[in-house]
Amino acid sequence: MNFIRHSIHILGLLFMLCMGTAWAPSAAAETFYDSARGITPIMQETKPPVLGNAVNDDVRRTRNYTWQPPTIPHRVDGYQVDKNFNKCMDCHSRAKAEFSQAVPVSVTHYMDRDGHMLGQVSTRRYFCQQCHVAQDAVRPLVNNTFEDVDTVILKAMRSQPGKAPKKN
């Protein structure tokens, strides 16, 4: 009985050894790349790209869907946003927006998860850059042919003259 158990262990080890040598050359021969990283293989470290010059034009951009958070139209590098302080609220709090002429944060930022109004920005909405992002004037990594729903509907209406849009 001991001999059989010992033989099974040896056969198992031999099988794993054979599988390892059969797999190893093919894995080493194939190098994987990610187009976002350029020509550097995935398993090699790359030098990070130099940060671009963030868009700083204060132009409000059109949103592509109903609940899309607005993008940040100005530089935010160096802004302190942590549990002690939120630099964004220096201009965007409802109390300071009239003076700064910045867009005040939405009332939804003052609601808890149950929809109850709070006296201050909800902790769920306190870290602005979880949803809002600054923009860089860079070439996209992939082509984008996204069209918002209004554009799609307008094109459909133009392609079918004589059909009026339905009113709800």
What's 135's domain CATH number? 1.10.1130.10
Looking at the structure, tell me whether residues 86 and 145 fall in a common domain: yes
Domain match, 29 and 92 both: no
d(CA 31, CA 42): 8
Closest by Cα among 33, 53, 58 to 43: 33
Overall domain count for the chain: 2
Task: Check whether residue 26 and residue 96 sit in a common domain.
Answer: no
Structure pTM? 0.59
- Give the range of the structural domain holding residue 155, as residue numbers without chain letter: 81-159
DSSP 42: T
Decide: 99 and 89 in contact? Cβ < 8 Å.
no
Whether 45 is in a domain gets the answer: no
Phi, psi of 159 (to 5 degrees): -80, -15
- pLDDT tens digit at each of 168 positions of the chain: 666 666 676 777 777 777 665 555 555 557 888 877 778 888 888 887 777 788 888 888 888 888 899 999 999 988 999 999 999 999 999 899 999 999 999 999 999 999 999 999 999 999 999 999 998 888 888 888 988 888 899 999 999 877 665 665
User: Is residue 58 a part of any domain in this protein?
Assistant: no
Contact (Cβ atoms closer than 8 angstroms) between residue 73 and residue 59? yes
